Amino acid sequence: MSDRERLHDLRQQAHNAGIEGNSKMTEEQLREALRKVGKGAEPELAKRESRR
């Protein structure tokens, strides 16, 4: 899987998890936000914390 495909897949997972507006997030930020949502964090809070 290419980097572009992997990033697209992460963005789709984030969207499905309720993390809206993730187009400017890096791969690392997306992974961190998805981890937080997986542990029960609210999607918007996980997004905000991951973008710092």
Strands (E), 1-52: none
Residue 1 has pLDDT above 90, yes or no: no
| pLDDT of 51 | 86
The pTM of the full predicted model, rounded to 2 decimals, is: 0.90
Asked if residues 37 and 15 have their Cβ atoms less than 8 Å apart, the reply is no
- Kindly state the percentage of the chain with pLDDT values over 90: 94
User: In the chain, what's the furthest Cα-to-Cα distance?
Assistant: 30
The CA distance from 38 to 5, in Å, is 22
